[in-house]
Structure 1
Amino acid sequence: MEQPRGPLIVYANFFSDVAVDLSAHQVLLAWARQARRKIWLMRPGDVLLTPVPLSPEFTRYACDLLGVPAPTLTVITVPVTAGVPMAESLDRAGLTDTVRALGAERPGARLLPLALDSSTVELAARLGLPVAPYGPEGVPPWAVEAVYRLNTKKGFRAAAAELGIRTAPGCVCDAQELVRTVSTMLHRYGEVVVKPDRSAGGHGLRFVSGAHSDWAASLASPGAHPKGDWVVEQRLPDARSVSVQMEALPSGPRALFTGEMHTVAGSYAGYVSPLDRATDIAAQELHHWGAALGRYLSAHGYAGPYGIDALLASDGTLYATESNVRRTATTTPHAMVDRLCARAGVTPSAWLLGRRRSRLPLTFADALHLVQAEGLAWTPDRGEGVVLFADSPDDERSWQYAVIGADAGSTAKMQAALAGVMRFESE
């Protein structure tokens, strides 16, 4: 049974300066499509503030699977303005008073943001709402500072050194030193990864090899890289991208799940949870690091979700690469898996997320019909299956899905069947 809780105003503030600079508007627009999946967090009486609309078909589908009557939910689409946080877009659209009234109508309501940024704390104060999961005492300013700092590569590397967390061999430099630093690192390692200090989802990431003579010109050309700090790390060939997701609580850090990321050119393309048995030692180390970071965050007043991304090298050595002190691309799907399994009365054992392109365009109704007709769709009675958790893609081809099963073998088998049914392109 789901535990009762007060009403939430789910604030999908993808237009935040926590993960990337607000000037990267096109990147933020692409990420904002994930806002539709926040419906999986909602319960009767909740409100969703989203920068992109949800289709009626997807809303009915999600509500049916959750057992939540659709009319009990309120969804407000916020038109966004380039270069400003979502809180300012809410003001410019004249929606702040509407949200304030919705909060006042819901005793005990709290604002649940995607990322805890300074504009969200100010918005919550103007709305007269506490920020979840904080209490009436509010969000300490040093917690917000910790969020900004630990969502940078430089900030995480500094905290990791203090906490005894092994990081990938590398160093921090500013834009003026970037070419010289990359040259030094290439001489030492042969291949490096170049990352903007504040970035996420592979944005701005570059792989540089000493075998290519034009790398320096590409980095030094006007507009090739913005001002600010950069991190240059050794590229670890054949490394596996793994992560642990956790929650900072007053009682101490709590592990939520581990998994392995599937990436294409450094960008997230899927996820498999939990880590397989071959990575048991790495999983233990990830949990140890996650607990250490959680205690650090709690000491700085932070409460809520966070995670550590790492690379498992071919020799079995684990290297942490970054922390994400916010909800990530896997946090909400994991919450969805937990809710669906609880409703079905089964224990969540294995699940995966995928992102694939169909050879032909499909509407949401088309895709759902194919999945149901093949007997692959999740139902509470079945307790396993495919969930189209992200709504119909804008191009009707770039589908995201989850597969929930009893073990990794069953989820992989269902994913293979789904690829055939939806005629996915080869990876």
Structure 2
Amino acid sequence: MVKTIIIANVAEAFSRSIAKIRSRKEKTLRLAIEQSLSQRSMFWGGDNKVVITPYFIPKLLFHRNSIFCKYKNTVNVTPVNESINLCEAILKDKKLYDWLKVIIKNNPKVNLSPYSFTNFFLELTRKLKEDNLIFKTDAIPDSNTDVVSYLDSKSGFRLELLKLQKQFPEIKIPYGFICNNPEVALRIVEQFYKLNASCVLKANLGESGWGLLTIKPGVFKSLIELSNSIKSTIINESIWQNDSIIIEELILHTSSPSVEVLVTAKGPKITYICQQIIDDKGTFSGILLGKNTIKTSLIKKLIHISSIIGKRYWQMGYRGYFDIDFVISYNGTAFAIETNMRRTGGTHVYDFACKVLGKNWFEKAVILSKDNFIYGDEIIDGKEIFKRVSKMLFTSKIGKGVVISFISKSIPLLGYFIIGDSLVEASNLKSRFESLVKL
């Protein structure tokens, strides 16, 4: 029996942004990263599933992680041709599509679950329905499908939360502006500079630190130097071009928690809350969750705010996963800074924990993840990586250790998460793991 068909369309979710990249080298690198991240999908949703990825998850990785998760009925399949648009590739692969139809026909209650809703995913579901197949999916909006791209944009998020603020003043977002072109954006930045105030520039469709620029007045000797720096970034990075630019005050903060929400026809449900690990450039690296990682008082506050936002998105017709990113100021104020309308960087970690560690794992363990570990200049074979860290790998008997979540086939990149009894232990394991892989 198959309960779920996972469509790991990670790169597809960002195909518009990737398509804008002019540099072939940069475009190839960005695509390789997103395609590699799709391997995390094997952890989503428990057992009894089909996982469709752009290319096969490395056999050794899939085998070992299936053992960790105690999977007995999970298979990984791929289209014959790798493509940035996975759903389109599925439709073009007659053999795979026909096989998929048989799976759905034999499991009429199966749930089609993508990483993110896209028009390509919508087309795939339409074709399956035209073939008289019966299945479920909670990922298709209940009304206008444009609601997904609207809420996923920085401008759409800001406009909706400004509306909610009028009714719920406890919802806070940074002071800021939506600028329709770079010229307006430069004028706004100049005003921040003259006030000696720091600000953040956000590309409307930026993600994971791509399309994020922090401006601190003390870094620049003059207004001209500041303007030239911003102009250079906008000209050279495609993510900034032909779209809105959002400018917000920089909130000095102590932490950056994130709340994942699942929206079904019944309404929103909070799945988990974690701390985000963000580097100095604002790039998302991984998450921290579990025992003593977030204060109970803050959890209650975040759940309250996220439930309000989730209800609003539900009323607008959104269905599926999304997360809300926050920053917590030094006086304890929670500022919502964006929503990402898709599964998030911690979904695979949370699903693994619930499946393997049990219902009360949050009170017993700490999990630390990383999704952007560049281990060197050359690609290392997966077998060699597992050999180097064999004594550190997670075992159900001990209940802690390292789980490798993906290994890129084209660049020296891998992802992992570490389960420990405390943050200190998890951090020590992290340092040891990375040093062993780099040998």
Say if 2:2 and 2:48, in contact at 8 Å, map to a contact too.
no
CA contact (8 A) 2:354 2:361 kept: no
The runs of 5 or more residues in structure 2 that have no matched partner are 22-26, 166-170
In 2, the alpha carbon distance for the partners of 1:78 and 1:198 equals 30
Q: Deviations over 1:94-148 (max 9, x none)?
A: 45444334433433223111111233122112113545236xxx75233x33322
Q: 2:174 aligns with which of 162, 168, 192?
A: 168
How far has the Cα of 1:381 moved from its partner? 1.3
TM-score for both structures, normalised by structure 2: 0.82
Matching residue of 1:205 = 212
Taking the TM superposition and a 5 Å limit, the aligned residue runs for 1:32-43 are 32-41=35-44
Change (3 A) 1:24 1:288: farther
What residue number does 1:30 align with? 33
Deviations 1:254-297 (A, max 9, x none): 32222222222111112111484674443332211111111112
CA distance in 1, matches of 2:270, 2:193: 37
**Distance across 2 between alignment mates of 1:348 and 1:393:** 35
Q: Which residue pairs with 2:104 in the alignment? A: 103
Residue of structure 2 in register with 1:145 after alignment = 146
Change (3 A) 1:349 1:189: farther
SS in structure 1 of the partner of residue 120 of structure 2: helix
Report the Cα offset of residue 155 of structure 1.
1.0
For residue 226 of structure 2, the aligned residue among 179, 196, 215 is 215
Partner in structure 2 of residue 86 of structure 1: 86
CA distance in 1, matches of 2:346, 2:318: 20
What residue number does 1:329 align with? 345
Deviates most, 88-97 or 153-162: 88-97
Tell me how far apart the structure 2 counterparts of residues 347 and 334 of structure 1 sit (CA, whole Å).
Answer: 13
Provide the C-alpha distance between the structure 1 equivalents of 2:278 and 2:362, rounded to a whole number of angstroms. Answer: 30
Q: Are residues 1:57 and 2:66 paired?
A: no
Find the counterpart in structure 2 of residue 367 from structure 1: 385
Separation in structure 2 between the aligned mates of residue 402 and residue 391 of structure 1, nearest angstrom:
13
- CA distance 1:253–1:140, shift in 2 (3 Å): closer
3-state SS of paired residue (1:60): helix
Amino acid at match of 1:65: F
Residue of structure 1 equivalent to 2:168:
none
Q: Look up the equivalent residue of 1:209 and give its one-letter code.
A: K
> Contact between 1:377 and 1:385, CA under 8 Å: does it hold in 2?
yes
Counterpart-to-counterpart distance in 2, 1:345 and 1:281: 20
Counterpart-to-counterpart distance in 2, 1:339 and 1:414: 22
Question: In structure 1, what is the Cα distance between the partners aligned to 2:45 and 2:274?
Answer: 24
Amino acid at match of 1:150: L
Instruction: Provide the C-alpha distance between the structure 2 equivalents of 1:379 and 1:415, rounded to a whole number of angstroms.
Output: 16
Taking a change above 3 Å as real, the CA distance of residues 52 and 334 of structure 1, as seen in their structure-2 partners, is same
- State the one-letter code of the partner of 1:113: P
Question: When the two structures are superposed, what TM-score results if normalisation uses the length of structure 1?
Answer: 0.85
If each structure's helix is expressed as a fraction of its own residues, which one has the higher value? 2
- Residue type of the alignment partner of 1:48: V
- Contact 1:103 1:127 (C-alpha < 8 Å) held by counterparts: no
Equivalent position of 2:24 in the other structure: none
How far 1:223 moved relative to its partner? 3.1
Deviation sequence 1:313-345 (CA, Å, 0-9, x none): 233322111011210111122112211213999
Gaps (5+ residues) in structure 1?
A: none
Q: Which residue of 1 aligns with 2:77?
A: 75
Looking at both structures, which has the greater relative contact order when contacts are Cα pairs under 8 Å and sequence separation is at least 6?
2
Change (3 A) 1:44 1:248: closer
What residue identity is the alignment partner of 1:154? S
1:115 aligns with 2:116: yes
Amino acid at match of 1:233: E
Bigger shift: residues 90-99 or 233-242: 90-99
Deviates more, 1:402-411 or 1:352-361: 352-361
Q: CA deviation at 1:420?
A: 4.3
Show the 5 A alignment for 1:217-256. Answer: 217-220=228-231, 223-224=235-236, 225-237=240-252, 239-256=254-271
Matches within 5 A, 1:292-303: 292-303=308-319
8 Å Cα contact 2:388/2:437 also seen in 1:
yes
* Amino acid aligned to 2:172: R
How many aligned residue pairs are there?
410
Q: 1:45 to 1:318 in 2, by over 3 A?
A: closer
Question: What is aligned with 2:328?
Answer: 312
**One-letter code aligned to 1:319:** F
Asked whether the 8 Å contact 1:11–1:114 carries over to 2, the reply is: yes
**In 2, are the aligned partners of 1:55 and 1:391 still within 8 Å (CA)?**
yes
Is the contact made by 2:259 and 2:274 (CA closer than 8 Å) also made in structure 1? yes
Distance 1:194 1:21 in 2: 17
What's the C-alpha RMSD, in Å, of the aligned pairs? 3.1
SS state at 1:322 partner: strand
Q: Deviations over 1:393-415 (max 9, x none)?
A: 6444x332111233334323432
Matched, 1:178 2:160: no
In structure 2, C-alpha distance between the alignment counterparts of 1:87 and 1:118, rounded to whole Å: 9
Larger deviation, residues 212-221 vs 398-407: 212-221
Paired position in structure 1 for 2:199: 192
Determine the structure 2 residue equivalent to 1:132. 137
Q: What is the aligned partner in structure 1 of residue 11 from structure 2?
A: 15
